[in-house]
Amino acid sequence: MANKTEQNSGGTIKIQYYKSTIGYSKKQKQMVKSLGITKLNQTVERPDTASMRGVVAKVPHLLRIVE
């Protein structure tokens, strides 16, 4: 299991905000904002960790991982 975290620790993922949060709950809006995303179609790079992938998995209808 230690090898898996070592591989992910150096990498980054690109997260794209592709759909507006209008009409969604405050919790979902906060999750998008917590990533540092402010504009529609904005792409940010974050460390490739399980927690970052978990945030994207909570709101897959708003965010996507760009390869």
pLDDT of residue 4: 54
Q: Could you tell me how far CA 19 lies from the centroid of its own chain?
A: 13
On average, the pLDDT of the chain sits at: 89
pTM, rounded to two decimals: 0.80
CA–CA gap between residue 66 and residue 15 (Å, rounded): 6
Domains and CATH numbers, the chain: 6-66 (3.30.1390.20)
* Residue 67: band (very low, low, confident or very high) from pLDDT cuts 50, 70, 90: confident
Residues 1-27 have pLDDT tens digits of 555 544 545 699 999 999 999 999 999
